[in-house]
Chains A and B, each alone.
Chain A
Amino acid sequence: MKEIVVISGKGGTGKTSLTASFGIMGAKDVVLADCDVDAADMHLLMQPDFEVAEDFYSGEVAYINQSNCTSCGLCQDVCRFDAISLHNEQYVISPLDCEGCGYCARVCPTETIINNDLLVGQLFVSNVKTGGQMVHARLGIGADNSGKLVAKVKDEAKVLALKNKKDYILVDGSPGVGCPVVSSLSGASFVVLVTEPSVSGLHDLKRVYELVKKFNIKAGCIINKADVNSDKQAEIKRFLMDEGIEHLIDLPYDENFTKAMTLGQTIVEYENQNLTSLLEQTWEKIKQLTNQNNREK
């Protein structure tokens, strides 16, 4: 079982549309994992049945039981997150600002502050239209996307893949270079970088690849909307060559991606011509590199 992780640094490069397309082509061989838990969208293309739904708790949030509070203010003094304030002569904790460090509860002289487990989101396991399965999640609004829910999504996908003897886990990662991305990358067999030929696309690709290098994972790159700017496209290709990143494919700017999306479809279901054949080649190449990479290890 191999783990293929798709990331982009920059948002809006087409990461989810492409991951979902590979998911369609991989069909029953693939367990899909949507690790962009902060703004998960892949389910919109996959007709999930939400067969299993469970609450996900991580960390704690402090709460002041007013009946025993002497309003000494010590909790507010020690809180480094400005989460505790005085309202109508009562100290209250703003759950959105509380980090769950528990410091206030430890110093409270009347032990009137309690720490409750924090519900940060929901985890789903679904059967999807490919005949395969997908693990996805929804992070609560304003929750700490510390990467723990991402790790949980990946763990669940791994369990399913092993149990049902699937060849691949295909992970839709999150944008950026912080915690959730670090969580998405850990344990990956191969990374697919999706970029676009723009100053921002290249800038973000370079930053996210620095992170990939720290994990020492072999990577390939898809240049999406490649014909929008040929100079930037050439610049990206030079970067890929210098870094030894496999250049997987150039895809043209094509509004059929959006047309497919409005029908709840991936591009490979929507059209049966140029783009689909390019994506079929790409998926074969990704599988080949993923397996080759693991043999070398």
Chain B
Amino acid sequence: MTNQQTFKIAIASGKGGTGKTTLSTNLAALIAEREEVVLVDLDVEEPNSGLFFNGTLVHEEDNHNMTPNWDESLCTLCGLCQEVCNFNAIIQLGTSILVYPKLCHSCYACSELCPVNALPMEPTQIGKLRDYKLGKLHYVESRLNIGEEQAVSSIAKTKKYVAEKYPNVSLAIFDSPPGTSCPVMEATKDADYVILVTEPTPFGFHDLKLAIETMHELKKSFGVVINRYGIGNDEVINYCKAEGIDILAKIPNSRQIAELYSEGHLIYPSFPEVKTALSNILEHCLSIKEGERI
């Protein structure tokens, strides 16, 4: 096949701290033992995947938001910009136009509807994208500046960068932000398969159901990985069985795993059962990938 498409696996969860990054980093490292893979950290507020690898920085660039910049010399103070902005990001105060970049959603309405082009859109730096290499593993992260609030545009930009830079890599893993709101939707919406990581506790179960609802909304095919298996109760397993949701793997609850993770180490080299679990997850993803080809 000449024009191979990258198969994108997003790793998500409703609840934070269930093991998204652990799964993403270990899965990516295991794949990289035999072929090229891209690990993309889309949790731009708190990107952590890079803490587990000591790679070489191969590329760095700024992430921007486009916001209007008032050109006083052209402005006729007609007031249209303030009127068209649905986000209260532009206020006309006497003979001045004030722009609040943090409220701006970059819709361009004020800029393009301005009759005298007095509000050209200009880039504001809101964070950085970094691309590292370690053997056959590429890992790319975007990191939002502290105080910046709009995560979605950086997530979109990071996905675009990866698609353009690594079009021939057959597998990409997206480490997604927690929750069920916009940033998660953005991170998972063009994934070919989503893995929801949960833990078998009431909080894990409650948030898993929200995450499943999100995946139904996005019409994604997905499976569940249960982390810290052995604690809590059987609600998650019973629910998945009843709903016909694939449980791809159960990763045991273990203090030793928590200790390895806390040091920033990968888990599977020391835990054969975790390596087996990852292989099963990978095999499942590849079978879906092949299924889509047919």
Contacts and interface: CB of A to CB of B under 8 A. Distances in A.
A78 B191 CA distance: 26
Interface stretch (B131-139, B199-207, B239-247): B199-207
B177, B180, B184, B258: residue with the most chain A Cβ atoms closer than 10 Å:
B180
B257 to A, nearest CB: 10
Contacts of B166: none
Interface in B249-271: 255, 258-259, 261-264
Nearest to A177: B45
A182 B206 CA distance: 25
Main secondary structure of the interface of A (DSSP, over half): loop
Contacts of B178: 11, 38-39, 175-176
B33 interface: no
Contacts of B177: 176
Interface in A127-164: 139, 141-145, 147
B60 interface: no
Which of under 10, 10 to 19, 20 to 34, or 35 or more describes the interface residues of B?
35 or more
Nearest to A215: B147
A10 B46 contact: yes
Contacts of B218: 96, 142
Given A59-B86, A102-B84, A142-B181, A228 B259 contact: yes
A44 interface: yes
Contacts of A11: 15-18, 178
B231 A258 contact: yes
Interface stretch (B93-101, B102-110, B280-288): B102-110
A210 interface: yes
A237 interface: no
A144 B186 CA distance: 11
A147 B103 CA distance: 11
A214 B147 contact: yes
Contacts of A174: 179
A203 B45 CA distance: 11
Interface string B40-62: 00010110100110000000000
A171 to B, nearest CB: 17
A99 interface: yes
A261 B178 CA distance: 21
Contacts of B207: 39, 41
B233 A96 contact: no
A199 B112 contact: no
Interface string B145-176: 01111110000000000000000000000000
Contact of A106 (B45, B48, B113): B113
A34 interface: no
Interface of B: 14-18, 21, 43, 45-46, 48, 51-52, 84, 86-87, 105-109, 112-113, 144, 146-151, 177-185, 201-203, 206-207, 210, 213-214, 217-218, 231-233, 255, 258-259, 261-264
Q: Which 3 interchain pairs have the tightest Cβ spacing?
A: A12-B17, A11-B16, A101-B107
